[in-house]
A and B are shown apart, each in its own frame.
Chain A
Amino acid sequence: EPEVTQTPSHQVTQMGQEVILRCVPISNHLYFYWYRQILGQKVEFLVSFYNNEISEKSEIFDDQFSVERPDGSNFTLKIRSTKLEDSAMYFCASNIRSGGGGETQYFGPGTRLLVL
């Protein structure tokens, strides 16, 4: 069964460093998302991406964050200058379309980011 994959599974970085989190959505899906979950807290929406552009972003998704679909398969989240409070589990998700039974979002296993 197709699934969303994410790499790396864990990343440790120093405050101020740039990190890139990678995701491979399910191949025929058109909508892509990043969410994060700080330890013990809710899953929070960061950004959605469709047709090679951001379609929506939350207030968390400030200028330090960017997303890119550099080729036909990868979807990346970049944090330019990490802060301690960026430590969280980051989830990528995708769905096939916006309606007609394609709304189910499938999540990857997550990347646990620890900023020291």
Chain B
Amino acid sequence: SQQGEEDPQALSIQEGENATMNCSYKTSINNLQWYRQNSGRGLVHLILIRSNEREKHSGRLRVTLDTSKKSSSLLITASRAADTASYFCATDAGRRALTFGSGTRLQVQP
């Protein structure tokens, strides 16, 4: 897989359920950032986790990072219909340019 690949590609859940998205990458990183994109719109930064961190929380978001497995996960708890969007992980390998994955399309059914 390429740097910053998410799975699943698409996820459909009911409101109130938790959504978990995974990201794998290949090279060493300085940090990993998660972004959200509503259809055809801009990228909204959600959370940044550094290579020396294992877990971070922000509101209903929880991000984990396992550098030994070169993987990260984004958990959205108690999902809402408004969480419907595409979610991307992006890695910073020290060059500052971010490498984005293909994204997970999350559909939250009301």
Write out, one digit per residue, whether chain B residues 68-110 have a CB within 8 A of any chain A CB (1) or not (0).
Answer: 0000000000000000000010101001111111110000000
What chain A residues lie within 8 Å of B101 (beta carbons)?
42
The answer on a CB contact under 8 Å between B42 and A45 is no
User: Would you call the interface of chain B mostly helix, strand, loop, or mixed?
Assistant: strand
For the complex, give the distance between the alpha carbons of A89 and B86 in Å: 15
Task: Verify if B54 is at the interface (C-beta below 8 Å from A).
Answer: no
Contact of B96 among A35, A48, A107, A108 (CB under 8 A): A48
**Using an 8 Å CB-CB cutoff, how does the interface string of A96-113 with B read, 1 for contact, 0 for none?**
001100011111111010
Chain B residues with CB below 8 A from A45, complex form: 97-99
Q: Nearest chain A CB to B47's CB is how many angstroms away?
A: 9
A108 touches B42 (CB 8 A): yes
Do the beta carbons of A42 and B45 come within 8 Å of each other?
Answer: no
Q: Are A43 and B88 in contact, with the CB atoms below 8 A?
A: yes
The contact of B42 among A42, A104, A105, A110, by CB within 8 Å, is: A110
Can you name 12 A-B residue pairings with CB atoms under 8 Å?
A31-B96, A42-B103, A43-B43, A43-B88, A45-B99, A56-B97, A95-B96, A98-B96, A103-B48, A106-B45, A107-B42, A107-B44
Which of B's residues lie within 8 Å of A, judged by CB?
A: 30-31, 33, 35, 40-45, 48, 88, 90, 92, 95-103
